[in-house]
């Protein structure tokens, strides 16, 4: 796992966006794995800026999002579908039929999970997966304790995750209790992974990731075994880590 140390959120977003843009330019048919949450919004803004100025084309790009809440319709402002349309998709020329987000509104959720896995496989897997991290080490919505072998599945959200995400809702009771997420195995199979970590709220997670063992009780730790994973982390996130250079 390679670490790129950057100054702040802005620089993290620019670095990641530049990386993604280059990939898209070199491989126009790229399959991108996309993330939601506060962390990647800056990257998406940079992609939109670049699209306006340089017209980088996403016409042949396919995307798969990591996760979706169960019970939130597409037009619910807190659904990840809505987030992706507003924060990225409607601003670039990606074809709506090439974008994939699991549906949390289907009655047969197991079928949704199976179909999602098959679609990723049919596509030849994910070329570049963008990730954020939860303070408890979750990636996607894979909470601590999730098997490293898990494929796309339904999860019960940890109370700490619901609390962290409550900032987007009117009250915590409105935060769904369940979600669909790509599994750790699904994420791990991506050819390349870009994990973004910013801010002092993520200091503990950052330190555990770098200094701790690879364990299912800290899902992101599996990334240390990935052959092509890069972390872009800012100074605040890295404050608790001694000897960052050891990991570069
Ligand atoms: N499911 C998402 C994750 O994909 C995200 O990485 C994480 C961190 O969010 P944030 O970037 O807002 O800190 O929380 C959410 O629960």
In CATH, what number is assigned to the domain containing residue 222? 3.40.50.1360
Phi and psi for 135 in degrees, rounded to 5? -60, -25
Ligand 1 mutation pick, 36, 66, 231, max ligand atoms within 8 A of CB: 36
CA distance linking residue 154 with residue 6, whole number of Å: 35
> Nearest residue CA, atom 6 of ligand 1?
132
Domain that holds residue 236: 2-247
Lining residues, ligand 1, CB within 6 Å: 35-39, 66-67, 132-134, 140-141, 161, 165
Quick: pLDDT tens for 135-150: 999 999 999 999 999 9
Mutation choice for ligand 1 from 9, 35, 37, 136, CB with most ligand atoms inside 8 A:
37
Number of domains in the chain: 1
Distance 234 CA to ligand 1 centre (A): 16
Asked if 210 contacts 197 with a C-beta cutoff of 8 angstroms, the reply is no
* Paired sense of beta strands 192-197 and 229-234, if any: parallel
Residue 242: predicted pLDDT: 73
Q: Any idea of the CA torsion for 65, 70, 71, 77, to the nearest 10 degrees?
A: -40
The model's pTM is 0.96
CA of 151 relative to ligand 1 center, distance in Å: 19
State pLDDT tens for residues 46-85.
999 999 999 999 999 999 999 999 999 999 999 999 999 9
- Distance set, CA 119 to CA 98, 152, 190 (Å): 11, 11, 14
Query: Which positions are annotated as active-site residues?
Result: 67, 136, 138, 143
Ligand 1 atom with least separation from CA of 80:
1
ipTM of the complex model: 0.96
Q: Which atom of ligand 1 is nearest to the CA of 157?
A: 16
The pairing of strands 128-131 and 2-6 is unpaired
What are the residue ranges in the chain where pLDDT is below 50?
A: none
What is the Cα–Cα distance from 37 to 77, expressed in whole angstroms? 13
What local confidence, expressed as pLDDT, does residue 247 receive? Answer: 63
Q: Are 161 and 134 in contact (CB under 8 A)?
A: yes
Distance 119 CA to ligand 1 centre (A): 23
Encode 106-138: b = buried (16+ Cβ within 10 Å), e = exposed: eeebeebbebbbeebeebeebbbbbbbbbbbbb
How is residue 158 annotated by DSSP? P
Cross-strand pairs, 233? 5, 197
């Amino acid at each position: 796992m390679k670490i790129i140390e950057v100054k702040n959120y802005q620089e993290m977003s620019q670095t990641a966006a530049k990386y993604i843009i280059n990939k898209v330019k070199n491989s126009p048919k790229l399959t991108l794995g996309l993330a939601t949450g506060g962390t990647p919004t800056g990257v998406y803004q940079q992609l939109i800026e670049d699209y306006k100025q340089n017209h980088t084309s996403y016409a042949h790009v396919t995307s798969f999002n990591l996760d979706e809440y169960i019970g939130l319709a597409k037009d619910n402002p807190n659904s990840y579908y809505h987030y992706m349309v507003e924060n990225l998709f409607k601003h670039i020329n990606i074809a709506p039929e090439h974008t994939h987000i699991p549906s949390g509104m289907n009655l047969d959720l197991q079928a949704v999970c199976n179909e999602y896995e098959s679609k990723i496989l049919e596509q030849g897997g994910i070329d570049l997966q963008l990730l954020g991290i939860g303070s408890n080490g979750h990636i996607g919505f894979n909470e601590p304790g999730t098997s490293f072998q898990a494929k796309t599945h339904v999860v019960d959200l940890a109370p700490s995750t619901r609390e962290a995400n409550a900032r987007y809702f009117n009250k915590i009771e409105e935060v769904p209790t369940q979600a669909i997420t790509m599994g750790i195995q699904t994420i791990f199979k991506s050819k390349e992974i870009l994990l973004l970590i910013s801010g002092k709220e993520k200091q503990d997670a950052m330190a555990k990731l770098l200094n701790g063992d690879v364990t299912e009780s800290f899902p992101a730790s599996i990334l240390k075994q990935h052959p092509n994973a890069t972390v872009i982390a800012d100074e605040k996130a890295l404050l608790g880590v001694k000897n960052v250079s050891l990991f570069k």
